[in-house]
Amino acid sequence: MSTARPSMMSLSGRDPGLYAASGHARPFRPCADCTCSPGLLSRQGRRSSAFLKQLENTRRRKSGRDPYRVSSLSGSGSESVYSSDMLCQSTKEINTTERLLQLRLQMIKHELCCYIVPSEDEHQSEYVSLADQRRSFISGFTGSAGIACITRNLLNFNEKDPDGKSILSTDGRYFNQAAQELDFNWTLLKQGEGPLTWQQWCINEAKEMSEGLGGKVAKIGVDPKLISLEQVKAFKKRIQDSTNSNVQIELVPVEQNLIDVIWSTFEPVPERSSNNLMLLNSAFHGEDFKEKRSRVLKYIHEKHKGAAALVVVALDEISWFLNMRGSDIEYNPVFYAYLLIDDEGTTLYTDNPFQSDVKTYLQENNVDVKPYESIWEHLQQRSSNRDAKFLVPDNSSWQLIRQIGSEQCQPVHSPLDLFKSVKNVTEIRNARVAQVKDGVCLTQYFAWLEDQLVSNEALIDEYHAADKLTQIRKTQRDFMGNSFETISSTGANAAVIHYAPPEDGSSMIDPSKIYLCDSGSQFKEGTTDITRTVHMTTPTQEEIDNYTLVLKGNLAVERLVFPEGTSGLHIDSIARQYLWSRGLDYKHGTGHGIGSFLNVHEGPIGIGQRPSLAQFPLQAGNIISNEPGYYKDGEYGLRLENDLLVKHAQTASGNGKFLKFENLTLVPYCKKLINVKMLTKEEKLQINEYHSRVWQSVAPLLQPQSLSFKWLKNETSSL
């Protein structure tokens, strides 16, 4: 995840969106560790200017004067001016050396030449709690995707001061961010930019050390709870293919997480949240627990006869199956748990507290609740029956398979993942309601922002603009928080694909430059993910033309009609074709599945270039994003994202079954950035019809003659 913020979910009787205002909910903690990098400060919600403010406040109280004022959202006041001699040393000297040294000392105890630190938690979650941000702790990189690999030079026999190398591997969304956050100890390995993968890098390093020691075994270690069995199998095959009789390399499980061992030496170790559970009303889920359980059991009996139980690992699958929600991970309405489903009943392993309504609900549905950690002992006991076969998700942790025994495990793609991705009638109806709500909020936001920046010449930074959007969303009923950290980025910052504005030190939004806002909401009705790129004065011709290329790709995907059995792998090029014609492209996927008041990134579907997507064709009822973009490093970024519903299509021939998309999002495109001359008649008609639908859906919910009403009327007028 990007910059750590407080939990956005309000599922225990607190004010909806309470934590969405961010920053202020976490108490200030002064920097006591001058080896912190800005990335580490960011991960904990601590920024250098927070220290500056505290220091300056102290000086102001002593002197009785106010040396500066911070500009407000209304634009009054002047920008803060900070003196460089007040900086915490951590902002001058980016240094993870001591952390790496302590880690290598632990590696000696386990005889490791290399240690792998994944981003995921033991549920293979994309977004994780502060307590699971081990990779961020050791590297300083705060992005949601990436893996850190640290070596200990076996040829250096000084066990008091071991040396080695360290790399951070991540994808194109985070190249710019990683380059800014990593210190001099780290090398950035860019995924997709060359043939070398992080796995091969580890093998190459281990191979060199094994050869140098005359064929002695070189061990590569990893916490088996944090890596999937599939990854382990692929890694071991690479090792086998890369070694010979003169080299010995082993991938070994290290059950004691080495980052956890050293963490408290440097800073207080965060604790995993364990918040109250929420029961989702039937008006929001559309299928009760017993119906879902029957579907799952039918799948098990028909597809995998003889299986004793299905183990469920993914947190969003557990929340969906039980029709319950949590708030243990910010932005994601999930809770920490494992689940075991068999013919006798359902066992939920969680430590989360719950009220009497949830207790009654679980009892009525024969759901047995056990402590979270007891899953391991329970699996071991049940697996003592050698005839028992367990269905385990194909992304289960290595440790889960080791606990049950590989012979008694049958890896499958979780049926809950597939069922969850196809929304029912209630979820689809609610998704449309959620999009209307967010359409109103984003209309109010962009109208306010343009008025403040252009008409009032106010000074507004990226962070406080994003906070204003959250405040607007909090006025909507059943708003539960943001679905991810808002990407509010001006000018060159918009070229950083997953940019997150810091609370202190954000750039002032420049109305003479591109502004990109990628944001989403968690309503009880559903989850949204919407990106709009706008310009509030006079864009350049290059910006206009490239925006139009992105828009053309977005429109092409939206109007596509395709046969059943088509996956997002085959659709991806539709979105890129116009950029490709100019030699341009973007380094991220075109779309991802979206949950129903669940995770904003939902598997297994997607639109992109990952070969694995071919295994999961799109189905009627899927909700998926459509977000092509273009990014010019150091100058600007463009992205347009709508949420699409997959529906059945009627074709003229009537032969075969076909699918199409419905654009659920209700936010206009930026007319100033559209080059009408580059559009076909079909595209102009498509935009005008869309804008007409936006106007009809959103305008009745706005006050006539308000700024929002006038802004929407202008932006949705015909091209």
Q: What is the DSSP string of 135-183?
A: HHHHH----SS-EEEEE--TT---TTS----EEEEE-GGGHHHHHHH--
- 3-class secondary structure, 379: helix
Shared domain check, 235 and 371: no
Question: Is residue 183 included in any domain, yes or no?
Answer: yes
Stretch 368-390: mean pLDDT, rounded?
89
Shared domain check, 387 and 289: yes
- Per-residue pLDDT reduced to its tens digit, 101-115: 999 999 999 999 999
User: How many Cα atoms within 13 Å fall on the side-chain side of residue 89?
Assistant: 5
Shared domain check, 437 and 396: no
How far, in Å, CA of 61 to CA of 156, rounded?
A: 54
pLDDT grade, residue 94 (50/70/90)? low
Question: Is residue 6 included in any domain, yes or no?
Answer: no
Q: Examine the fold and report which residue of 359, 394, 421 is the final residue of a domain before the chain moves on.
A: 421
Shared domain check, 563 and 498: yes
At a CB cut-off of 8 Å and minimum separation 6, what does 480 contact? 8, 9, 10, 11, 16, 17, 333, 522, 523, 524, 597
Q: What is the DSSP letter of 508?
A: B
Shared domain check, 529 and 508: yes
**Residue 533 near residue 670 (C-beta atoms within 8 A):** yes
**Of the ranges 83-87, 171-175, 333-337, 618-622, which one carries the lowest mean pLDDT score?**
83-87
**Residue 590 near residue 550 (C-beta atoms within 8 A):** no
Residue at 574: amino acid letter: I
- Per-residue pLDDT reduced to its tens digit, 218-268: 999 999 999 999 999 999 999 999 888 889 999 999 999 999 999 999 999
Q: What are φ and ψ of residue 317, in 5° steps?
A: -65, -40
Shared domain check, 617 and 658: yes
Stretch 392-421: mean pLDDT, rounded?
94
Question: Is residue 62 included in any domain, yes or no?
Answer: no
Question: Is residue 89 included in any domain, yes or no?
Answer: no
Q: How many Å from the N-terminal Cα to the C-terminal Cα in the chain? A: 39
How far, in Å, CA of 543 to CA of 561, rounded?
A: 30
Shared domain check, 641 and 617: yes
Question: Is residue 45 included in any domain, yes or no?
Answer: no
Stretch 360-366: mean pLDDT, rounded?
97
Q: What are φ and ψ of residue 117, in 5° steps?
A: -120, 100
Instruction: Please choose, from the candidates 266, 270, 259, the residue with its C-alpha nearest in 3D space to the C-alpha of residue 32.
Output: 266
Shared domain check, 517 and 402: no
Q: What is the CATH number of the domain that holds 307?
A: 3.40.350.10
pLDDT grade, residue 61 (50/70/90)? very low
At a CB cut-off of 8 Å and minimum separation 6, what does 29 contact? 44, 46, 268
The whole-number pLDDT of residue 386 equals 72
Give me the sign of the Cα torsion angle 483, 485, 486, 489.
Answer: negative
Shared domain check, 577 and 657: yes
**Residue 87 near residue 195 (C-beta atoms within 8 A):** no
Q: pLDDT: is 627 or 193 the higher one?
A: 627
pLDDT grade, residue 49 (50/70/90)? very low
State the Cα torsion 228-232-234-238 to the nearest 10°.
150
- 3-class secondary structure, 412: strand
Q: Examine the fold and report which residue of 369, 397, 421 is the final residue of a domain before the chain moves on.
A: 421
Q: pLDDT: is 388 or 679 the higher one?
A: 679
Q: What is the CATH number of the domain that holds 660?
A: 3.90.230.10
Q: In what order do the strands lie in the sheet with 623-626?
A: 561-563, 658-663, 642-649, 623-626, 591-593, 602-607
Model confidence at 489: pLDDT above 70: yes
pLDDT grade, residue 31 (50/70/90)? very low
The answer to whether the bond into 604 is cis (omega within 30° of 0) is yes
State the Cα torsion 47-48-54-56 to the nearest 10°.
-140
pLDDT grade, residue 117 (50/70/90)? very high
How far, in Å, CA of 427 to CA of 280, rounded?
A: 12
Question: Is residue 444 included in any domain, yes or no?
Answer: yes
- 3-class secondary structure, 398: helix
User: How many Cα atoms within 13 Å fall on the side-chain side of residue 473?
Assistant: 32
pLDDT grade, residue 371 (50/70/90)? very high
- Per-residue pLDDT reduced to its tens digit, 272-304: 999 999 999 999 999 999 999 999 999 999 998
Question: Is residue 540 included in any domain, yes or no?
Answer: yes
Q: Residue 158 is part of which domain span?
A: 95-266
Instruction: List, as one string, the DSSP characters of 637-675.
Output: EEE-BEEEEEEEE--SS--S-EEEEEE-------GGG--
Shared domain check, 351 and 320: yes
Q: Examine the fold and report which residue of 354, 386, 421 is the final residue of a domain before the chain moves on.
A: 421
H-helix or E-strand containing 534? strand 530-534
- 3-class secondary structure, 518: strand
Helix axes 568-580, 541-558, angle to 10 degrees: 150
**Structure-token pair, residue 71:** 């500009």
Number of structural domains (the chain) is 3
- Per-residue pLDDT reduced to its tens digit, 123-174: 999 899 999 999 999 999 998 899 999 999 998 878 788 999 999 999 988 9
- How many residues are there in the chain? 719
Shared domain check, 451 and 304: no
Question: Is residue 55 included in any domain, yes or no?
Answer: no
Counting residues of the chain whose pLDDT is more than 90, the rounded percentage is: 78
At a CB cut-off of 8 Å and minimum separation 6, what does 347 contact? 339, 340, 367, 368, 369, 370, 378
Q: pLDDT: is 93 or 20 the higher one?
A: 93
Instruction: List, as one string, the DSSP characters of 600-640.
Output: SSEEEEEESS-GGGGGS---TT-EEEE--EEEETTTEEEE-
- 3-class secondary structure, 510: coil
**Structure-token pair, residue 516:** 């990109």
The whole-number pLDDT of residue 242 equals 87
Count CB-CB contacts under 10 A for residue 74.
11
Model confidence at 79: pLDDT above 50: no
How far, in Å, CA of 249 to CA of 243, rounded?
A: 7
Stretch 33-61: mean pLDDT, rounded?
40
Shared domain check, 484 and 453: yes
- Average pLDDT of the residues of the chain: 87
Model confidence at 18: pLDDT above 90: no
